Amino acid sequence: VTPGLYFKPYACCTATHYAADAALALRAEHHLRAEDIAAVRVVFPPAGDTPLTVTDPATGLEGRFSVEYVLAAALVDGALGLSLFDERAAREDLRSFGRLVSRAYDADAPRASTDPQTRFSTVEVRLHDGRQLSRRVQGLSRARDLAAKYADTTAQQPDALRAVPALVGRMHSRDDLLQLTALFSLVHA
């Protein structure tokens, strides 16, 4: 009941989400272009990047656990769609940009734990013109547009699955549930 359902906004490790939100905000606020960026530093609380074991992913699946890849996608594309994190080869442009990213730790912060108050990321961007930009995000964001998230998630699935949100919204009977089950069986066909 409390805190209720939580839908992740991005299809990558939650430990990257704070940095992703910070990078997306900086990109939007300052109209950043990849070619303007000289370096990126992401600051974690101690142990805040423990699950982020990959720095240069070979596949999108590995990219889920790479803050370097996630930040590259956020700053280059301005989006973190599901297709970035599938079994295909990681995008070379994002891998290359990810090499501009370094990690650091705030020694004065409490060690990251399951308590959300101990989790944050600060993204610092140095531009070629010498400017330094910084954004700290503490607290997880939630997926804002569940319809868009569903559409992104099912983009490579049978077209019939597009009917699921409307069906769930009007579901009142056993027949509706059977129809929903039949639609989901298309995924495994």
Q: What is the pLDDT of residues 8-46, one digit of tens each?
A: 889 999 999 999 999 999 999 999 999 999 999 999 999
Model confidence at 122: pLDDT above 60 = yes
Say what angle helices 67-76 and 17-30 make with each other, to 10 degrees: 20
- How far is the C-alpha of 161 from the C-alpha of 154, rounded, in Å? 7
Rounded to two decimals, what is the model's pTM? Answer: 0.82
**How many alpha carbons fall within 13 Å on the CB side of residue 20?**
28
Model confidence at 93: pLDDT above 70 = yes
Model confidence at 153: pLDDT above 80 = no
Amino acid 78: pLDDT: 96
Model confidence at 99: pLDDT above 80 = yes
Amino acid 35: pLDDT: 97
How high does pLDDT run on average in the chain?
A: 90
Q: How far is C-alpha 162 from the chain's CA centre?
A: 23
